[in-house]
């Protein structure tokens, strides 16, 4: 079974006005960083692991393209000796757009400190917003040349927020927080870009399922090598400007703040110049695809029995996003528009031939993923 990747490169056309000076990058000159992406097959969320603290702990963090900061649960035994709380009113607190001071009456530990810069770790899946403390600690990340994982680079101080046990609802089982990749000064990719003077650019390659292999987050720009394709995949990407939404979409913001999320200008969505879902269903019928009972949250489902599979995924109608600029078309093939649903025998007529039946769900919700890919499906 081939694996399909959805590659999204976000070139940040944004000037960095504040430079975070907290990281002494010493002599190390990495070209780019890489983190592995896994997909949780229950929630369909994508997550990665960021090695943090002393001794190293390995929190799994759900990826949120619209998230403003990296946060994880510090109430889970995290007691790193290199953790430092960031004081309220400090320059680092301003960089994080922190407000107020948070304190704690318990035994001092990461996540329980006084006079600490208050930030708002947010869980978009359960809509939980807490006031948490801003802190910094070392993290260990892999350098990459676009092909493989090179040395493990120890970054002495990166800003993140401490979250809480009861803030994890709705996140994939076992994950401990969220890695926010929005256009903020404290997002991990922005901190790494300014610390190591690498391009403020990142790319996500999302795996269809973890059984098909892992995906990658590249921080710092290409090249990107994705076997079996043996050239730099960054040359295949189409480009479109990111636009700034003047209205904040954050759970909490000040009057007049623009959004930190990524927006692109989609001029039209076409299958055949017709309404998306209806036209998809019609075209699907002409390709001999059989509609089956929908599986929530999807409105349209098809039996996989009579759909051929190729290197771009199932041969279903291609959805085309028409982007800003001349002849900019983002073709969404079956590998990215369809989600595989495995159901037990007894539901579909194929039951006599197969112990398990794959159904493919059409994913109109995918378009939201331009704005917030973390939603996964
Ligand atoms: C989810 O993945 C795990 C391990 O990767 C596997 O054991 C489990 O059967 C999968 N569950 C479903 C519903 O596919
Ligand atoms: C956390 O670590 C400090 C030393 O770094 C130690 O004094 C303290 O007892 C530890 N706390 C817990 C709850 O393990
Ligand atoms: C914070 O300050 C209060 C009041 O001074 C004190 O009782 C408490 O122990 C302190 N908490 C920590 C974590 O140091
Ligand atoms: C979550 O994972 C743990 C072990 O990692 C397992 O014991 C538990 O049953 C899982 N819970 C759910 C709801 O899948």
What confidence tier does 340 reach under pLDDT thresholds 50, 70, 90?
A: low
Determine the distance separating the centroid of ligand 1 and the alpha carbon of 19, expressed in angstroms: 43
- Ligand that comes closest to the CA of residue 75: 2
Determine the distance separating the centroid of ligand 4 and the alpha carbon of 171, expressed in angstroms: 12
- Ligand that comes closest to the CA of residue 169: 4
Q: What is the pTM of this model?
A: 0.78
256 occurs within a structural domain: no
Nearest-atom index, ligand 4, CA of 42 = 14
Q: Which residues pair with 118 in a beta bridge?
A: 133
Structural domain harbouring 349: 266-375
- Please provide the average confidence, as pLDDT, over all residues in the chain: 80
| pLDDT value of position 144 | 95
The enclosing domain of 353 has a CATH number of 2.40.70.10
* Furthest-apart CA atoms within the chain: distance in Å: 68
**Domain total for the chain?**
2
| pLDDT value of position 276 | 67
Where helices occur in 71-187 by DSSP H, the ranges are 91-95
- CA 85 from chain center: how many Å? 26
104 lines ligand 3 (CB under 6 A): yes
Same domain, 306 and 173: no
Least confident segment among 71-85, 184-198, 221-235, 341-355 = 341-355
Per-residue pLDDT reduced to its tens digit, 42-64: 999 999 999 999 999 999 999 99
Determine the distance separating the centroid of ligand 2 and the alpha carbon of 77, expressed in angstroms: 10
172 occurs within a structural domain: yes
- Rounded CA-CA distance 164/74 in Å is 6
Q: Residues of 65-96 as b/e, b for ≥16 C-beta within 10 angstroms?
A: bbbbbbbbbbbbebebeebebbbbeeebbebb
Determine the distance separating the centroid of ligand 3 and the alpha carbon of 104, expressed in angstroms: 6
- Rounded CA-CA distance 298/304 in Å is 15
Same domain, 100 and 214: yes
Residue nearest atom 5 in ligand 2 by C-alpha distance = 81
173 lines ligand 4 (CB under 6 A): yes
288 occurs within a structural domain: yes
- Rounded CA-CA distance 26/323 in Å is 42
Determine the distance separating the centroid of ligand 3 and the alpha carbon of 162, expressed in angstroms: 17
Mean pLDDT of 173-189: 97
Same domain, 126 and 29: yes
- Rounded CA-CA distance 41/39 in Å is 6
| pLDDT value of position 314 | 72
How many other C-beta atoms can be found within 10 angstroms of the C-beta atom of residue 371? 16
What confidence tier does 275 reach under pLDDT thresholds 50, 70, 90?
A: low
Residue nearest atom 10 in ligand 1 by C-alpha distance = 41
């Amino acid at each position: 079974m081939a694996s399909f990747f959805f590659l999204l490169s976000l070139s940040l056309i944004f000037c960095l006005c504040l430079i975070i000076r907290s990281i002494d990058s010493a002599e190390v000159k990495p070209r780019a960083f890489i983190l592995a992406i896994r997909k949780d097959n229950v929630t369909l969320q994508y997550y990665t692991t960021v090695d943090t603290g002393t001794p190293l702990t390995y929190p799994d963090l759900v990826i949120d393209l619209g998230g403003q900061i990296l946060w994880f649960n510090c109430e889970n035994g995290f007691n790193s000796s290199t953790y430092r709380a960031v004081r309220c009113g400090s320059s680092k607190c301003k960089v994080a757009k922190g407000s107020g001071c948070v304190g704690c009456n318990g035994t001092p530990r990461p996540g329980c400190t006084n006079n600490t810069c208050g930030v708002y770790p947010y869980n978009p899946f359960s809509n939980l917003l807490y006031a948490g403390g801003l802190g910094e600690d070392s993290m260990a990340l892999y350098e990459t040349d676009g092909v493989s994982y090179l040395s493990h680079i120890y970054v002495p101080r990166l800003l993140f927020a401490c979250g809480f046990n009861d803030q994890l609802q709705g996140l994939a089982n076992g994950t401990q927080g969220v890695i926010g990749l929005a256009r903020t000064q404290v997002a991990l990719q922005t901190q790494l870009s300014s610390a190591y003077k690498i391009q403020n650019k990142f790319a996500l390659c999302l795996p269809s399922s973890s059984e098909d292999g892992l995906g990658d987050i590249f921080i710092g720009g290409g090249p990107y090598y994705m076997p079996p394709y043996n050239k730099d995949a960054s040359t295949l990407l189409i480009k479109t400007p990111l636009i700034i939404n003047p209205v904040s979409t954050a759970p909490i913001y000040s009057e007049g703040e623009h959004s930190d999320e990524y927006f692109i200008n989609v001029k039209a969505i076409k299958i055949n110049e017709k309404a998306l879902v209806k036209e998809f269903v019609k075209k699907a019928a002409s390709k001999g695809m059989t509609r089956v009972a929908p599986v929530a949250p999807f409105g349209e489902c098809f039996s996989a029995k009579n759909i051929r599979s190729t290197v771009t995924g199932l041969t279903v109608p291609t959805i085309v996003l028409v982007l800003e600029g001349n002849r900019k078309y983002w073709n969404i093939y079956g590998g990215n528009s369809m989600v595989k649903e495995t159901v037990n025998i007894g539901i579909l007529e194929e039951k006599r031939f197969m112990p398990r039946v794959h159904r493919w769900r059409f994913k109109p919700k995918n378009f939201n993923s331009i704005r917030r890919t973390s939603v996964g499906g």
